[in-house]
Copies of this chain bind each other. A is one copy, B any other.
């Protein structure tokens, strides 16, 4: 029996340059489209008559980007979702994932240049639009926001068993590559403004929190988002613990002063949770 089928197009790359006189705006998106619906015959019979080609999905992204603003990824995702739902009778659920690569303006003298840009950050902004019938749900997020705090972080008083060798540490580096996603109550929002409010809230809470663990700080960040940004109904945070191991300088004849660390990629702790109202 066939179950949970889906098909679509991933990694559709789009750059749009909008010209307002000397000032150009640049939007850089990577888009994935995912169809779920009554497409079983294409799997079981090789009958393609109801299958919209993924190549057409890609073309649709470019055509609708020419006709509509892409300044808010959430709003453009909605345009795409509604377009596909209206025209594809067998489509039950559509999901649009958008990732925005951030660009800033090159500064010449003290002035931002109107037509020259520099990539900012390894982090990216994400948006997700899901549609079913005439229901549209909209979410947003941030990927790989790498943050680190060098104080107010410890990990002590944990469970110990026969294989525990980790010592209590009262003062350690806490670092993570935050991936967070959240859902909005409504589509009637200033998405760009709200996205910045959520991101800032998470950053500020991370900076100020007296962290007993990654779990503890993750919870504080999620709670702050729900407290500060009314439009958000639920938030999920995924925080890999990017361990920074103190170098044992005593072996090298020097004092350990909690200054010299080795950041490591493997293995890493992985902490996740959702907070809902």
Chain A contacts to B: CB under 8 angstroms: 1-19, 24, 26, 28, 32, 34, 39, 42-56, 58-60, 62-63, 65-67, 87-88, 103, 106-109, 113, 115-123, 145-152, 155-166, 173, 203-204, 206-208, 211-216, 218-219, 236, 240-241, 244, 247, 249, 251-255, 257-277
Contacts and interface: CB of A to CB of B under 8 A. Distances in A.
Given A16-B259, A53-B159, A216-B42, A267 B166 contact: no
B158 A48 contact: yes
A276 B60 CA distance: 34
Contacts of A49: 157-159
Question: How many identical chains are in the complex?
Answer: 4
A267 B97 CA distance: 14
A168 to B, nearest CB: 10
Contact of A108 (B207, B244, B274): B207
Contacts of A166: 53, 55-56
B259 A18 contact: yes
A58 B88 CA distance: 39
Contacts of A10: 240, 267-270
Q: What are the nearest 3 A-B pairs in CB distance? A: A46-B212, A116-B207, A119-B146
Nearest to A62: B247
Given A247-B62, A268-B11, A51 B261 contact: no
A268 B267 CA distance: 17
A141 to B, nearest CB: 16
Contacts of A151: 24, 115
A261 B70 CA distance: 13
